[in-house]
Amino acid sequence: MIHRCIFGGFKEQRVLLALQIFSLIVTSTLTVYPQQQAKSILHEIKTGGNRIIQIDGKYRVWTKRVGSGNIKVLTLHGGPGFTHEYLECFEDFLPKEGVEFYYYDQLGCGNSDQPDDTTLWTIDRYREEVEQVRAALGLEHFYLYGQSWGGMLAIEYALKYQQHLKGLIISDMTAGMTAYTAYASELRKQLPPDIIAVLDKYEAKQQYDAPEYQDAMMKSMYAEHVCRVNPWPEPVERAFRHFNTKIYNIMQGPNEFVITGNFKNWERWDDLHSISVPTLLIGARYDEMNPEDIKREGTLIPHSRVAICANGSHLCMWDDQETYFKHLVTFLKDVEKGKF
């Protein structure tokens, strides 16, 4: 009995000693190498290209890398207030050409934070947001793509930060709101008289959300000049469902015909000559942006090329898809080869 107790005591002491030694080793390791271990763990986690970036010191915006290659493109979606979703057709055309591109939902949009602060929705703040996103992603000597409102934002970025750019793509965007509203007025006059009567009726009352008004806009404007594919592709429908109209109303106004927002006086025609990087300007025959304005931009930006999609509208990446991406991919490769 005594012998068994002594033996058991020695056994317990050895176990306790072993546990103490192990604890010291673990504690010492974590104390000496905590940062290295955390970094190693983070590097092992795969996120499917998704990444959250902090901007302005407190907000979080969503980005996603698609594909892998030396040609890197950051995309700026339209709106203001839209999401990256309607650009998802890019996945079928760019990665196979060796293009690595980045989705990015601007603040207030899609997967990014949506703060309830109306002072955030300005051109200048969004331009600085783009620069913060670029820096966080480590993009240098890259291509900036902007469509519609994103094209306006891309122009603004290029005028201040073009030292970071290798090339610029401005898709479906004129260089001033005066030209934009003039062409929108022309398109409005071409609508059937009964549609014009409906628009006049509700615009006089400022009832832009009235179902009859929205239906008239959808059938007359959007179906003809925004996306001519019928029915609309699922990513386009999804982007419209997730549309943040609060931002749109503050920055643009109720719709394409009524421009009352804070960028109503935006004009950059006189500054386009300052953009020196290779630039592709894309427009479309049925776009709500005047194709002649797109061509005019091409005469003012020194190293530029203009592509007009003969069968496309505002979302010509959908309704004139092959033409659109042929021009886009050719531009990227020509710049890479020094042929631009």
Tell me the torsion sign for CA atoms 129, 133, 135, 140: negative
Query: Cα–Cα distance between 3 and 162 in angstroms, integer?
Result: 85
Query: Cα–Cα distance between 267 and 310 in angstroms, integer?
Result: 27
Q: Which helix (H) or strand (E) holds 73?
A: strand 71-76
The 10 Å Cβ neighbour count of residue 340 is: 18
Of 226, 242, 194, 191, residue with least CA distance to 81: 242
Q: Are 262 and 122 in contact (CB under 8 A)?
A: yes
Q: Are 84 and 150 in contact (CB under 8 A)?
A: no
Phi-psi region of 57 (alpha: psi -120 to 50; beta: other; left: phi over 0): left
Residues tagged active-site: 148, 287, 314
Q: What are the residues whose beta carbons fall under 8 Å from the beta carbon of 338, sequence distance 6 or more? A: none
Indicate the residue type of 25.
Answer: I
Q: Are 83 and 239 in contact (CB under 8 A)?
A: yes
